[in-house]
Amino acid sequence: MNEKNISNNDEAMDNEAVEKLTEDIIASLKTVYDPEIPVDIYELGLIYRVDLDDNSHVNIDMTLTAPGCPVAGEMPKWVEDAVSNVIGVSGATVTMVFDPPWDMAMMSEEAKVALNMI
């Protein structure tokens, strides 16, 4: 699995609650797919940062497989909607970043297997 660090700035949430919320956020990210690639965006390595703030708002830095991706304008909204629907999340904001540029080395082993790369 492609492990991402989900940081939490909320001292009030206990570790168990943060762990459960983290699992739910990751599960929601895994429901979002690039329509041209049969692998979810999390396993593709498109999610660079996930931060849970004191108000249970999730801030996400993500990228695309290519800057000219045909769904570049739509995908951030798909991600925001998926994460915002997680119970315990007050909302989500996606920031598109292109540094570092995405490359195939960022994919999880699961993604590479799904794409017959290994």
Phi then psi dihedrals of residue 13, to 5 deg: -75, 130
In the chain the first and final C-alpha atoms are separated, in Å, by 15
1 pLDDT exceeds 70?
no
Token reading at 95: 């920031």
Q: What is the pLDDT of residues 34-74, one digit of tens each?
A: 888 999 999 999 999 999 988 999 999 999 998 788 888 89
Q: Which CATH number fits domain 6-109: 3.30.300.130, 3.40.50.2000, 3.40.50.970, 1.20.1440.230?
A: 3.30.300.130
Q: What is the pTM of this model?
A: 0.85
* Mean pLDDT calculated for residue range 90-115: 95
Burial class (CB in 10 A: 0-12, 13-18, 19+), 73: exposed
* Mean pLDDT calculated for residue range 7-13: 56
Q: Where are the domains of the chain?
A: 6-109
